[in-house]
Amino acid sequence: MKGFVMKTLSDAFEHTLQDIYYAENQLVKALPKVEDSANGKKLKSAISEHLKETKGQVKTLEKVFKSIGKKPKGEKCDAIDGLIKETEGIMKEMKGEAKNAALLAACQAVEHYEIARYGTLREWAKVLGQSEAHDLLTEILDQEKAANSKLTNLAVSEINKG
């Protein structure tokens, strides 16, 4: 946020909302490539299902902006750009079961990032008295948690059989 000093919790909330809106839009672009690159039906289908949810989350975030009287706006988020860049590295440089395990781990890193962000955002929404935003953000948080659990189960049952 160039030239703008954030002072209030409301500023921090709005800024973090813009970050995650940018992040979800970047994920909508990145996930089809990850799906293509993954081996194995189960990982591919987990990614494609979460891509659908992610598109829905973009719409839900637009409702959150509306509920606080703001226009949806993305703010470049270095954290998600870094996570996506790492995933692109895996797609380029790895093969076989190593690639699949690393892609699954990369997807989980993204889910954990999102869980951290939405956990914070929905608590801030509550403190700010934005109950509609709180409920919408909780809806997304629950989807991210479910996506992460699904990936954990897949890692345990399919990938890290050791």
- Residue 67 class from Cβ within 10 Å (0-12 exposed, 13-18 middle, 19+ buried)? middle
Residue 89 CA to residue 98 CA, distance in Å, equals: 13
Contact in structure between 110 and 81 (CB atoms under 8 Å): no
- What number of chain residues touch Fe ion (CB under 5 A)? 6
Q: Which C-beta is closer to Fe ion: that of 40 or that of 56?
A: 56
The yes or no reply on residue 144 touching Fe ion (CB under 5 A) is yes
Comparing CB distances to Fe ion, the nearer of 102 and 151 is 151
Other CB atoms within 10 Å distance of the CB of residue 129: 8
Q: Which two tokens stand for residue 78?
A: 């270095």
The burial of 2, by beta-carbon neighbours within 10 Å (0-12 exposed, 13-18 middle, 19 or more buried), is given as: exposed
Smallest distance from Fe ion to CB 25, Å: 10
35 sits near Fe ion (criterion: CB under 5 A): no
Structure tokens at 133: 């935003």
Q: CB under 5 A: which stretch of 73-81, 85-93, 108-116, 153-161 binds Fe ion?
A: 108-116
- SS3 call for 158: helix
Least distance in Å: CB of 14 to Fe ion?
Answer: 19
CB of 149 to Fe ion, least distance (A): 12
Name which of 130 and 143 has its Cβ closer to Fe ion.
Answer: 143
Q: Which of 104, 114, 122, 125 binds Fe ion (CB under 5 A)?
A: 114
Q: Which is nearer to Fe ion, 7 or 152 (CB)?
A: 152
Applying CB under 5 A, the residues found at the interface with Fe ion are: 54, 57, 111, 114, 144, 147
